[in-house]
Amino acid sequence: MEDYRQIVKFLTALDKKIEKKTKLYLIGGSTITLTLDRKNRTEDIDVVDVEKKITDLAGKDSELAKKFNVYIHKMYEIDFSAPKDWRDIAKPIDGLSLKNLDLRAADVHDVVLGKFARLHPKDFEDISGLFENGHINIDFLLERLNQNTKEPMNQEYKNNAKLAFELIFGKKIIFRQGKALLSKK
């Protein structure tokens, strides 16, 4: 819960430094912390294609980051492993009383797809927690995986997806003709 409070304080302070409406698309652990699980820990807020002005104010070496131990981490859409329409289904993050920041959270299933790209121990922990708390619909996750035209061609990503499905969800998937399918075995 402390990470959640720090993130909210950080975002509130950033909001006060911004003079115009600014839309930020969040992905990763901070999305989980702000929308689903306030106990989820994270030290950065992954934001896709954020303006330099924002990273100057709130990036890793900024005064705000030093004060709150949270920072904006610039991500590029090309590095986010989700279907092309992910922004269309991103939802506003409400309840933070922000005047100028318009925060949008990537769908939890798209966040999971993004975590498949690295699949570090923290990613396993995040995905497992989401699944155990009923936030992941396996059929929709598989649908979103198949709408992702980029990653299923990458062998490492396929292997990570297979591993996550088996170890976290207890399901085996196979890839056939560029599509992920639940295995009948």
**Annotated domain spans of the chain:** 2-106, 109-182
- Residue 152, pLDDT score: 58
Alpha helices in 29-95 (DSSP H): 29-35, 52-58, 63-68, 86-89
Q: What is the pLDDT of residue 123?
A: 93
pLDDT of residue 136: 97
pLDDT at residue 41 in the model = 80
Question: By the 8 A CB rule, do 122 and 44 touch?
Answer: no
pLDDT of residue 184: 80
pLDDT, position 11: 97
Residues of the chain with pLDDT under 50: none
DSSP H helical ranges for 18-51: 29-35
* pLDDT reported for residue 185: 67
Model pLDDT, residue 37? 87
